[in-house]
Structure 1
Amino acid sequence: MSTDIAAGNRTAILTHVRKTLVELFDLDAADITPEARLYEDLDIDSIDAVDLVVELKQFTGRRINPDDFKSVRTIDDVVNAVERLMQR
């Protein structure tokens, strides 16, 4: 893991989340903006969200509490949740 990511670099986290969403769900990277809403804009359902959390667990190397992601609605919310995980 690079030191940028270990330090919780938001750009690195956003880049990883974008790459993951493109690979897992065949989304267009241009649609994955910080303001994009997971369910409404990107059509990510609850099963997809579980897959995303599993991948983020591997990315962070940390256990993820589902409550950390309950209020996640946008890509920016995902980045914030991952950043908080990295700071623990």
Structure 2
Amino acid sequence: MLHPVQPRAPFCARRVHCGHFSFRRNLIMATFDDVKDVIVDKLGVDADKVTPEARFVEDLGADSLETVELIMGLEDKFGVTIPDEAAETIRTVQAAVDYIENNQ
């Protein structure tokens, strides 16, 4: 008896730990952890409060000077330049991770 052929999802969609997806996810998690370290150091906040959706000013209590120091710390840590226009749009931890991932 023949069985109908079942359509298959792309390899990475079927398996959580496929090669490229797993590598990319690990890279982003490493970037998040490094960004988190800079935030904890520069803002003096509890590491548990640093989540991807945490906002620097509203949730983590950063003032304008601390925000500038945070951006400079990220530039030093990751070897990137964050122009003022871009820095003004980086308001959350995830936005910082995304900027670094896209500009490193």
Indicate the TM-score class for this superposition, using the shorter chain for normalisation: 0.7 to 0.9
RMSD (Å), alpha carbons: 1.5
Tell me which structure has the larger Cα radius of gyration: 2
Higher relative contact order (CA 8 A, sep 6+): 1
What TM-score, normalized by structure 1, do the two folds share?
A: 0.79
The 2-side partners of 1:85 and 1:76 are apart by 14
The 2-side partners of 1:25 and 1:84 are apart by 24
Unaligned runs of 5+ in 1: none
The 1-side partners of 2:35 and 2:43 are apart by 12
Partner of 1:85: 103
Measure how far apart 1:50 and its partner are. Answer: 0.9
- Find 1:44's aligned residue among 31, 39, 62: 62
The 2-side partners of 1:69 and 1:23 are apart by 19
Unaligned runs of 5+ in 2: 1-22
What TM-score, normalized by structure 2, do the two folds share?
A: 0.68
Partner of 1:26: 44
Runs of 4+ more than 2 Å apart: none
CA contact (8 A) 1:69 1:81 kept: no
Measure how far apart 1:63 and its partner are. Answer: 2.4
Partner of 2:31: 13
The 2-side partners of 1:78 and 1:21 are apart by 10
